[in-house]
C-alpha cells in the first residue's frame, strides 16, 4: 500500500496523482466497478473507512472519504491518497476547510470514475433529504443509517417524507436475515395471521421497519414491544384459530423458529458488521421497491396512531 499526502491541493492535482501512482505500480485503474463517496466527520472516519475498504474487497471501488473540517478557516483542500496492488481499488481522504465545506460536490465531481455508478453513504448525520444534497444528487444510490441519529426511531419514521428511488437505510439492511427467515417460514401453509409483535431493545430503528414490513405483507396489525436486547430479539405472530409462530433470539447469534405442528428449529441469525451491510447494498444498485413500500406503510401506521391519540385526547 502506497500513501501520498497532498496539502492545499486541487481535485485536478489529486486526479493526476492517482493516475501517476497507478502507472508507477503497473496497475492502471481498471476493474473498479463504482465510486463510493463517504461523508463523515473526523471522529467517525476511521470506522467508516475500514468498513468501506472491507466492502470494496467484494466491490472494487474508488473510495472518496469527504471530511468537513472548520468552515471558519481559509479555504483549503488536503488529500491523503492510498493505492496498492493488493488494495481493492483506491482510497482518497479529502479534508475540506472554509467555504469548501459547503461545496463538496464540486471537489469530488472530477474524481468520480467515468461511466460507473456513484454511491453516497452517510455513516453518521445525514441530510434531511439526501437526494437534494449536492453530493447525494450525484449518486445513483444513497445510504443512510438511522441508528446513528439521536432519536433513531424518529429518524427512520421520517424516511418516507424524503424518499427518492435509490435511497436506503442500513436499519433496513440489518433486517435481511430476519425477512429471509420469516418469508421461508411461510413456504408451508401456516394460516391467517391475526396480529403480531416485534420485540427489540428500546430505540432500535429496525424494529418498526420489520413491523411495517410484516404488516404490509400479512395485512395484520403488528406492534413493537421493548425487550432486553441486544437488537432485535423476537417476532411473535398469532395464528387465526389458535397457535403462534415465533422467532426468538437471545444471544445475537442463533435464533429458534417455532411453528404449530413442527419441531423447533435452530437457525443462524447473527448480527452483522457494518462492512457486510454495506457490501450487501453495493450488490444492488437499482431502487429497492420493498423498502419504499415498507417506509410508506410505517408512515401510514404512525399517522393512524397519531389520529387515534388526538381523537382520544378530545374525548
Question: DSSP of 136-162, one letter per residue?
Answer: HHT-SEEEE-GGGSSSHHHHHHTHHHH
Cα 218 from Cα 66, distance rounded (Å):
42
Q: How far is CA 137 from CA 20, 42, 165, 281, 311, in A?
A: 30, 23, 12, 18, 40
Query: What does the pLDDT look like over 154-212, one tens digit per residue?
Result: 999 999 999 999 999 999 999 999 999 999 998 888 889 999 999 999 999 999 999 99
pLDDT of residue 3: 83
Cα 285 from Cα 279, distance rounded (Å):
11
pLDDT of residue 244: 94
In this prediction, residue 292 has a pLDDT band, given cuts at 50, 70 and 90, of very high
Q: How far is CA 30 from CA 41, 90, 245, 279, 283, in A?
A: 30, 11, 50, 20, 19
pLDDT of residue 199: 97
Q: Has residue 40 got a pLDDT over 90?
A: yes
Whole-number average pLDDT of the chain:
92
Cell of 8: 492545499
Q: Has residue 12 got a pLDDT over 70?
A: yes
pLDDT of residue 310: 77
pLDDT of residue 119: 97
Q: Quote the pTM value.
A: 0.93
Least confidently predicted of 83-87, 188-192, 224-228, 283-287: 83-87
Query: What does the pLDDT look like over 93-142, one tens digit per residue?
Result: 999 999 999 999 999 999 999 999 999 999 999 999 999 999 999 999 99
Query: What does the pLDDT look like over 91-100, one tens digit per residue?
Result: 999 999 999 9
Q: Has residue 147 got a pLDDT over 60?
A: yes
In this prediction, residue 27 has a pLDDT band, given cuts at 50, 70 and 90, of low
Question: What mean pLDDT comes out for the span 235-259?
Answer: 92
Q: What is the CA radius of gyration of the chain?
A: 22
Q: Measured at the alpha carbon of residue 221, what is the angle toward residues 220 and 222, in degrees to the nearest 5?
A: 110
Question: What mean pLDDT comes out for the span 271-289?
Answer: 94
In this prediction, residue 242 has a pLDDT band, given cuts at 50, 70 and 90, of confident
pLDDT of residue 86: 58
- With a pLDDT cut of 90, the percent of the chain lying above it is 79
Question: What mean pLDDT comes out for the span 58-85?
Answer: 92
Q: Measured at the alpha carbon of residue 148, what is the angle toward residues 300 and 99, in degrees to the nearest 5?
A: 105
Cα 248 from Cα 235, distance rounded (Å):
7
Question: What mean pLDDT comes out for the span 42-55?
Answer: 95
Cα 100 from Cα 80, distance rounded (Å):
17
Question: What mean pLDDT comes out for the span 15-27?
Answer: 80
Q: Residue 94 burial (CB < 10 Å; 0-12/13-18/19+)?
A: buried
pLDDT of residue 226: 96
8 A C-beta contact, residue 201 and residue 230? yes
* Helices 274-283 & 45-56 angle (0-180, nearest 10): 50
pLDDT of residue 191: 87
Amino acid at each position: 500500500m502506497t500513501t501520498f499526502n497532498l496539502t492545499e491541493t486541487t481535485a485536478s492535482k489529486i486526479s493526476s496523482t492517482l493516475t501517476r501512482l497507478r502507472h508507477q505500480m503497473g496497475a492502471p485503474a481498471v476493474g473498479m466497478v463504482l465510486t463510493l463517496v463517504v461523508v463523515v466527520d473526523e471522529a467517525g472516519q476511521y470506522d467508516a473507512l475500514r468498513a468501506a475498504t472491507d466492502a470494496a474487497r467484494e466491490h472494487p471501488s474508488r473510495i472518496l472519504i469527504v471530511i468537513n473540517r472548520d468552515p471558519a478557516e481559509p479555504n483549503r483542500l488536503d488529500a491523503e491518497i492510498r493505492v496498492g496492488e493488493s488494495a481493492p481499488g483506491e482510497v482518497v481522504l479529502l479534508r475540506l476547510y472554509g467555504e469548501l465545506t459547503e461545496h463538496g460536490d464540486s471537489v469530488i465531481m472530477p474524481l468520480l470514475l467515468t461511466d460507473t455508478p456513484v454511491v453516497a453513504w452517510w455513516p453518521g448525520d445525514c441530510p434531511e433529504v439526501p437526494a437534494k444534497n449536492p453530493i447525494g444528487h450525484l449518486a445513483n444510490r444513497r445510504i443512510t443509517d438511522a441508528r446513528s441519529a439521536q432519536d433513531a426511531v424518529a429518524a427512520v419514521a421520517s424516511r418516507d417524507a424524503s424518499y427518492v428511488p435509490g435511497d436506503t437505510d442500513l436499519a433496513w439492511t440489518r433486517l435481511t436475515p430476519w425477512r429471509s427467515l420469516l418469508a421461508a417460514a411461510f413456504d408451508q401453509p401456516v394460516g391467517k395471521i391475526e396480529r403480531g409483535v416485534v420485540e427489540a431493545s428500546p430505540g432500535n430503528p429496525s424494529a418498526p421497519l420489520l413491523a411495517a414490513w410484516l404488516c404490509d405483507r400479512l395485512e395484520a396489525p403488528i406492534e413493537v414491544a421493548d425487550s432486553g436486547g441486544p437488537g432485535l430479539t423476537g417476532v411473535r405472530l398469532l395464528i387465526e384459530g389458535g397457535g403462534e409462530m415465533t422467532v426468538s433470539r437471545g444471544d445475537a447469534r442463533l435464533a429458534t423458529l417455532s411453528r404449530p405442528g413442527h419441531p423447533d428449529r435452530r437457525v443462524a441469525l447473527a448480527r452483522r458488521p457494518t462492512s457486510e451491510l454495506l457490501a450487501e447494498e453495493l450488490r444492488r444498485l437499482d431502487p429497492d421497491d420493498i423498502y419504499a413500500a415498507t417506509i410508506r406503510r410505517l408512515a401510514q401506521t404512525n399517522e393512524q396512531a397519531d389520529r387515534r391519540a388526538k381523537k382520544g385526547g378530545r374525548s
